[in-house]
Amino acid sequence: MKNQLKQIAESYDKAIDLGRKGIDSYNELPDFITDDPDYKLFLEMRKNENLSDSGRKEIYIYLPPKENMKFIDLGCCLNLMFRGYEKWKSTYYGVDISSKTIELLQEYTIKKNIKTGALTCCSMHETPFADSYFDIGTCIGSIEYFEKEFIGKVIEEINRIMKSKGKFVLDIPDIESPEFKITAKIEEYLGRPDKFNMSIMEFEEMIKKYFTIENKEKVGPMIQYFISNRKI
């Protein structure tokens, strides 16, 4: 698990460094990927912005963010910059394993005078926040990098930091779909291989220990879950 966390952090750190130079890693792919028959699915998803479903209006509608709400974004990447979260009335807290991602977000908030609760570099299975601290939250495009044991720890941590009846949105890969297979091929090339090894039924049984599944939808290569905390 430690090696996987380190590998993911290094891969996203590299992506940030390249991005600062104006280089998009997704535009620098080798022939064995671009010649794959399913690569056209990847291009279509990029065109329709389905690679990251963190900016969907359905998330906003489900949560919905309001003043005096604390919002946790686990595996936040650059959602605050590109997914509209800076416009939400809730107070934003971002967590990411990539130190350079957090550095860039801190620069962005200073430049744009955006107030946040915290931008924290740590793993999403061990966060520094108090029990029942957050009203709403998301974890989009992150769980697929890990295996069952680690995912269980993440779900337990989400349960710990969320308030009773707190609403949360997270996603897992649709591992049998061609959209995910080509995406996983690309992610592995970029140094952050997908390790997700659970069936949909296994995952749902895991989250049902703590949450009520209120809805789920397939979005691109992922399945998105809308859940609420059941703790009293």
pTM: 0.94
Query: What is the H or E stretch that residue 226 is in?
Result: strand 222-229
Please tell me the predicted confidence (pLDDT) of residue 78: 92
Domains belonging to the chain, first-starting first, are: 2-229 (3.40.50.150)
Q: Per residue in 103-130, pLDDT tens?
A: 999 999 999 999 999 999 999 999 999 9
Q: Are strands 118-121 and 222-229 parallel, antiparallel or unpaired?
A: unpaired
Please tell me the predicted confidence (pLDDT) of residue 68: 94
- The residue ranking higher by pLDDT, 47 or 167, is 167
Separation CA 50–CA 138 (nearest Å): 16
Please tell me the predicted confidence (pLDDT) of residue 111: 96
Per cent of the chain over pLDDT 90 is 85
